[in-house]
Amino acid sequence: MARFLSKEIKNIHFIGIGGIGMSGLANLLISKGYKISGSDIKDTEIIAKLRRKGVKVNIPHDKRAVRGKDLVCFSSAIGEDNPEIREAKALKIPLIRRGSLLAHLLRERQVLAISGSHGKTTTTSLASFVLKGAGLDLASLIGGIPQYSEDSSWWGKDLFIVETDESDASFLELQPVYSVITNIDREHLNFYKSFYNLKRAFLRFAKNTQELVIGYADQDEVYNILKSSGKDFISFGFKQRALIRAKDIKISSQGSKFKVFYKNRFLTDLQLSLLGEHNILNSLAVVGFCLYLGISPEKFKPFFKKFPGTKRRLEIKGSFKGVIFIDDYAHHPKEIESVIKTVSLFRRERLVVMFQPHRFSRIKLLARQFSFCFKNVDLLIITDIYSAGEAPLAGIDIDWFIKKIKRNFRGELIYIPKEALREAVCFLLKKGDCLLSLGAGDINKVLEEIIEKFRA
């Protein structure tokens, strides 16, 4: 084991432990016997779970929290000016980024690393569920909490399935045996500076893979990476060139049905509990990996139908007083467009979307795309920007963003401050509406409050 997890390391402190990636890694280390502590800016359910496991968590950050620790791990959201970072440096306590610590932890494991701009969490969660159902004793680290588990991570003896983080290029530290690239989009350009640099990072990731790369054939950027990787590859998609294809697709509010073709020959019918073409693509990546491992369709098919989904991914919260409530993590225009298309299956009267913009840098870079992605929405409610730890950008605020949206959005649009959403949205809802909350921040918590008041 690398020196960062040597026998001398016993007490590890996580700065930003409330993040899904940080908490998942912390859980894995707790299971290995390490004493874990952490800090964050506010209490969450994730932090409450960690405390129930004996983890001491400071709210907010406090430089005293790192004293006596053997190692300090921090996420990409933590800046150099963080008081705990400064104190660790002053005390000469080793510092390590989350992605680096994860790479050290997995260095001796057989790893399937699932990457991509969209669909990673669902694909990782689905792969873990299906392969476990097929008989593998899996370890997993997922960027969300699946509906079949209380945690986002756990240990197992066989393959380790990990959802990667491309936001800071830390996924390039992994040396997986197998990898998946679900797609590549103009995301995290505040870090990469250009789409060209982002594509080059994914190519490096594919070349870092030891044995097999699975990727989306319908996107030229991904397909070219597969061909240039120098590794065996399996392509999936809807187009003729895909090795694994879905055809005869039927999507309803009950799920998705389609035929799977392998090398242009019919392989099997597949029923998926999830909705939408984007989730069919996610499932094809998993089918490809099952076939590579020699798992027969008869063995893996039942678990696609049984898969219960992942929290905050097209999560139907219920129907109350004639209104359907749905929550999704989508925060990028492509994701939003896919989710809205799928949610249209549920609409009876109005589709009402409550959107919390995520990061100043993202809305600045993708403002034009945001103005088009809310097509077919009857009422768009936009609330305050969730900064995710970013400092505000000059001239980029909610008024600027709304002006950009109005350039191409033709439906009704209103701005409601976050603190007023609970009362205002309940007043606006009508029987027959479908309310969809979107965003990677804490908009899901607001939705819970709205549901509670609306049901009363």
The tens digit of pLDDT for each residue in 176-212 reads 999 999 999 998 988 999 999 999 999 999 999 999 9
pLDDT band at 405 (very low <50, low <70, confident <90, very high): very high
- CATH fold, domain 315-455, is Protein-Tyrosine Phosphatase; Chain A (3.90.190)
pLDDT band at 349 (very low <50, low <70, confident <90, very high): confident
Look at the alpha carbons of 90, 91, 92, 95 in this order and tell me if their dihedral is positive or negative: negative
pLDDT of 152 strictly over 70: yes
pLDDT of 380 strictly over 60: yes
pLDDT of 3 strictly over 60: no
By residue count, the chain amounts to 456
Residue 139, pLDDT score: 97
Phi, psi of 38 (to 5 degrees): -165, 180
State the first-to-last Cα distance of the chain, in angstroms, to the nearest integer: 55
Residue 77, pLDDT score: 82
Q: Beta strands of 273-339 (E only): which ranges?
A: 315-320, 323-328
Question: So what CATH class is 109-306?
Answer: alpha beta
Residue 5, pLDDT score: 67
Let me know: does 127 contact 112? Beta carbons within 8 Å.
yes
pLDDT of 2 strictly over 50: no
Pairing of strands 255-262, 265-272: antiparallel
Residue 384, pLDDT score: 97
Q: Contacts for 5-12 with beta carbons within 8 Å, 24 or more apart?
A: 5/101, 5/104, 5/105, 8/70, 9/34, 9/70, 9/71, 10/34, 10/35, 10/70, 11/35, 11/37, 11/68, 11/69, 11/70, 11/71, 12/36, 12/37, 12/69, 12/70, 12/71, 12/72, 12/73
Tens digit of pLDDT for each residue in 91-125? 999 999 999 999 999 988 999 999 999 999 999 99
Query: CA 145, CA 142: separation in Å to the nearest integer?
Result: 7
Q: What is the rounded average pLDDT for all residues in the chain? A: 94
pLDDT band at 4 (very low <50, low <70, confident <90, very high): low
Tens digit of pLDDT for each residue in 38-97? 999 989 999 999 999 999 999 999 999 999 999 999 988 888 899 999 999 999 999 999
Structural domain spans, the chain: 10-98, 109-306, 315-455
pLDDT band at 302 (very low <50, low <70, confident <90, very high): very high
Average confidence (pLDDT) over 217-236: 98
Residue 415 pairs in a beta bridge with 382
Average confidence (pLDDT) over 291-319: 93
Q: What is the pTM of this model?
A: 0.88
Residue 1, pLDDT score: 36
Residue 344, pLDDT score: 82
Share of the chain above pLDDT 90, in %: 87
Residue 372, pLDDT score: 96
SS3 162: strand
pLDDT of 390 strictly over 90: no
Query: CA 98, CA 92: separation in Å to the nearest integer?
Result: 18
Q: Which residue has the tokens 């299971």?
A: 31
Average confidence (pLDDT) over 423-427: 97
Look at the alpha carbons of 51, 53, 54, 57 in this order and tell me if their dihedral is positive or negative: negative
Query: CA 301, CA 304: separation in Å to the nearest integer?
Result: 6
Phi, psi of 404 (to 5 degrees): -65, -45
Residue 190, pLDDT score: 87
> What CATH architecture does domain 10-98 belong to?
3-Layer(aba) Sandwich (3.40)
Average confidence (pLDDT) over 356-380: 95
